[in-house]
């Protein structure tokens, strides 16, 4: 497959350190594999791919990289446990996670890709990975979608400085990547809030300091529930003991309407169930709980929070593992108001704690890490588990990206 125009510019640039900031599904993984194979086509090279976590590295590129190298007949040996491929010319390509910095020390590298480096600690580059390139003079390719104005932004600006002759930076949107049809971009714009859409698909550096739920607007999101009582209720649950938190919502023609909230200090899931049945004795309930609630608890007689709900006749819907926190936050923001000004989440004025938490929880300064010390997170988490299940952030669809061939 021919390279897109942005990929051509990046692949052809001779700078030793290239910083690429691109929208989702912009061909970043394809580009990473292509560059690693190009470096490893020289004999006796040691090339690494570093992702924020070891698991992410395996999920993102391992299968694609291995299958392509098998097709090319470049592989001499594959180590599945170490995620290392040894090539017939003596070179090797290894996958690593920056979450274990000690595993990155003590080697000399001939080239490294840092994928989604906005989510890698800066110290992993400056203190650990950068020294591995010193004796070889090897190159580094940094690729990511933005994550606020963290060190990604600083590195990008360095690549724009003509005095930094070893550095070069480039940015392009999902649409410019040429892999996503315009109608998919339009669908994403309707699904996401404006700031998230700009960051994820237009590769814009957005400032994430301040309020987490910035899309909340009292005029459009706080409305009394005036429809007839619904026999079916949706319950978002956060199982923190102090307080245990829940929101009670109904599905309407306009979207999701939160009609009630439960906040009980020094409590447990049994008391939450009692309160739900006391308030709504004749309603069918579907709960959207914290997935961690599957764990058995000795304090609950060997039961789990989720089995307590299910044994009480409450249907539970939850993923097998936690959705990334930022995706859960994005789901709530986009439901509050999407970039196309669609409002799908409304909250009754009697839900005072939920409204307070939405308007007061902030990020820790200079990060995209929610501040949990204030106590505003529990009610927001309960809301987020429900909203992200009803209105999940949908992945952009696009064609599979086959890889080009290289000769050794």
Taking the CA atoms of 361, 364, 369 and 374 in sequence, report the sign of the dihedral they define. negative
Q: How many CB atoms lie within 10 A of CB 273?
A: 19
- What is the tens place of the pLDDT at every residue in 7-48? 889 989 999 999 999 888 777 888 899 999 999 999 999 999
| pLDDT: which is higher, 320 or 271 | 271
CATH of 5-202, one of 2.40.37.10, 3.40.50.300, 3.30.420.240, 2.60.40.10: 3.40.50.300
Q: Which residues, other chains included, contact 178 with Cβ-Cβ below 8 Å and sequence gap of 6+? A: 4, 5, 6, 27
Q: Which residues, other chains included, contact 306 with Cβ-Cβ below 8 Å and sequence gap of 6+? A: 289, 293, 294, 316, 318
- What is the tens place of the pLDDT at every residue in 82-110? 999 999 999 999 999 988 777 777 678 99
Same fold across 5-202 and 218-390? no
Q: Which residues, other chains included, contact 12 with Cβ-Cβ below 8 Å and sequence gap of 6+? A: none
Exposed / middle / buried, residue 292 (Cβ in 10 Å: 0-12, 13-18, 19+): middle
The rounded mean pLDDT for the chain is 87
Segment 294-314 mean pLDDT: 83
Identify the pLDDT of residue 208: 58
- For residue 389 the two structure tokens come to 């299940």
Residue environment code for 191-223, b if the CB has 16+ CB neighbours within 10 A, otherwise e? bbbbbbbbbbbbbbbbebeeebbbbbeeeebbe
Q: From CA 333, how far away is CA 323, in angstroms rounded?
A: 15
Taking the CA atoms of 318, 322, 324 and 326 in sequence, report the sign of the dihedral they define. positive
Identify the pLDDT of residue 394: 61
Identify the pLDDT of residue 297: 66
Identify the pLDDT of residue 299: 62
The CATH class given to the 218-390 domain equals alpha beta
Q: Is 54 within 8 Å of 205 (Cβ atoms)?
A: no
Strand boundaries in 313-356, DSSP class E: 315-316, 345-347
| DSSP β-bridge partners for residue 316 | 287
Q: From CA 113, how far away is CA 51, in angstroms rounded?
A: 8
* 323 φ/ψ angles, rounded to the nearest 5 degrees: -70, 145
- What is the tens place of the pLDDT at every residue in 336-354? 998 888 899 999 999 999 9
- pTM here is 0.61
**Range among 26-30, 157-161, 201-205 rated most confident:** 157-161
Query: Omega before 4 cis (within 30°)?
Result: no
Segment 56-71 mean pLDDT: 89
Coil, strand, or helix at residue 234? strand
Domain boundaries, the chain: 5-202, 218-390
């Amino acid at each position: 497959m021919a390279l897109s125009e942005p990929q051509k510019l990046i692949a052809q640039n001779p700078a030793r350190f290239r910083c690429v900031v691109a929208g989702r599904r912009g061909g970043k993984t394809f580009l990473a594999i292509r560059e690693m194979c190009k470096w490893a086509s020289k004999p006796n090279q040691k090339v690494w791919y570093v992702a924020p976590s070891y698991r992410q590295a395996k999920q993102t590129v391992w299968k694609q990289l291995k299958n392509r190298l098998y097709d090319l007949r470049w592989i001499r040996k594959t180590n599945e446990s170490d995620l290392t491929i040894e090539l017939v010319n003596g070179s090797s390509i290894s996958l690593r996670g920056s979450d274990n910095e000690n595993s990155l020390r003590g080697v000399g590298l001939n080239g490294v890709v840092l994928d989604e480096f906005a989510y890698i600690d800066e110290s992993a580059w400056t203190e650990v990975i950068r020294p591995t390139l010193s004796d070889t003079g090897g190159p580094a390719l940094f690729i990511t979608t933005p994550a606020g104005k963290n060190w990604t932004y600083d590195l990008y600006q360095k690549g724009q400085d003509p005095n930094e002759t070893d550095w070069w930076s480039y940015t392009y949107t999902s649409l410019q990547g040429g892999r996503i049809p315009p109608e998919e971009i339009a669908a994403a714009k309707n699904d996401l809030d404006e700031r998230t859409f700009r960051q994820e698909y237009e590769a814009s550096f957005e400032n994430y300091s301040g309020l987490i739920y910035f899309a909340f607007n009292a005029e459009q999101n706080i409305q009394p529930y005036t429809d007839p009582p619904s026999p079916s209720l949706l319950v978002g649950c956060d199982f923190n003991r102090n307080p245990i938190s829940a929101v009670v919502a109904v599905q309407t023609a306009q979207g999701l309407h939160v009609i009630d909230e439960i906040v009980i200090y020094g409590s447990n899931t049994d008391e939450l169930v009692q309160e739900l049945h006391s308030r709504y004795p004749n309603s069918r309930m579907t709960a959207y709980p914290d997935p961690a609630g599957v764990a058995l608890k000795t304090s609950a007689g060997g039961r789990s929070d989720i089995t307590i709900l299910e044994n009480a006749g409450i249907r539970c819907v939850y993923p097998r593992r936690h959705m990334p926190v930022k995706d859960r936050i994005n789901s709530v923001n986009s439901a509050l108001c999407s970039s196309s000004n669609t409002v799908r989440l409304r909250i009754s004025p009697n839900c005072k704690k939920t409204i307070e938490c939405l308007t007061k929880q902030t990020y820790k300064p200079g990060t995209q890490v929610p501040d949990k010390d204030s106590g505003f997170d529990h009610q927001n988490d309960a809301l987020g588990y429900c909203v992200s299940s009803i209105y999940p952030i949908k992945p952009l669809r696009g064609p599979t990206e086959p890889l080009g061939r290289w000769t050794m």
